[in-house]
Amino acid sequence: MSKYCRDLRVNSVRKLSDKHVLLKLTHDNPLPQMCPGQFVEVRVDNSPNTFLRRPISVNDVDVSKNELWLLVAAVGEGTRRLCQLQEGDSLNCLFPLGNCFTSAEQLRNKRVLLIGGGVGVAPLLYQGRKLAELGNKPSFLLGARSEKDLLELEYFEKLGSVYITTEDFSKGEKGFVTDHSILRDAYFDFIQTCGPKPMMMSVARYAMAHHIECEASLENLMACGLGACLCCVEKTVSGNRCVCTDGPVFNIERLLW
């Protein structure tokens, strides 16, 4: 798949919480094809201490509006600057990067559970929409610290069944995602997950114990996004692999978890 470096225009900015912003980006020319699981390396301008691009998951692609959605969490100087972008601003993006989740077409007849935590829900929206478009209603299991940290619920609820856990019991069931009763009450053929590494490791243990095929989208620190700097290396059964090029999506059987 070809890679592009383009200045995209900010079509809209929506503040989802005190530290989360949904950016919708467009271009005068049609955006290239992107698939769920891939990511974008964005250049952060007007941030003197931000020297490297920041990796952001593809949240969704609206072909009808020629829009790329990016869900940004303000966790450092660079991402805080991104959250300050306004409609009409320009954002330089290198994309699409990385590999993809197993496609909706390959999962057409399977019962799929998409598990996300925090801003890790971002790539699951695009994957869920692809599944729903093929008539395969996905299930979403979303976890957060509290109700105010749950992101894009209205979009997920349009695509499939949504199950929620919060650590403070402000919405859904109390605890972590692997504590939710849906994991005891229903069976799934395939799990795809993204979020904090401890959460994904817990999901991987559940999947292995129940003989469910599972993919995890890793969120290792990245710099170049092209496999040159080696700062995102993950240990796998076949040696060290760059998450930006060999991933970010890995079958859990490849990971030394």
- Annotated binding residues, written as ranges, equal 54-57, 78-79, 224, 229, 232, 244
> Residue 66 and residue 28: Cα distance in Å, rounded?
9
List residues forming the annotated binding site for FAD: 54-57, 78-79
Neighbours of 10 (CB within 10 A): 17
Tokens 């008539």 correspond to 135
> Residue 170 and residue 160: Cα distance in Å, rounded?
22
Q: Are 212 and 180 in contact (CB under 8 A)?
A: no
**CA dist 5 to 10, 27, 87, 164, 214, Å?**
16, 12, 20, 37, 32
> Residue 73 and residue 142: Cα distance in Å, rounded?
16
Region of residue 230 (left: phi > 0; alpha: psi -120 to 50; beta: else): left
Is the bond preceding 96 in cis, omega lying within 30 degrees of 0? yes
> Residue 74 and residue 19: Cα distance in Å, rounded?
5
Q: Are 54 and 119 in contact (CB under 8 A)?
A: no
Tokens 């700097």 correspond to 229
Q: Are 121 and 36 in contact (CB under 8 A)?
A: no
- Phi first, then psi, for residue 133 (nearest 5°) are -65, -25
List residues forming the annotated binding site for [2Fe-2S] cluster: 224, 229, 232, 244
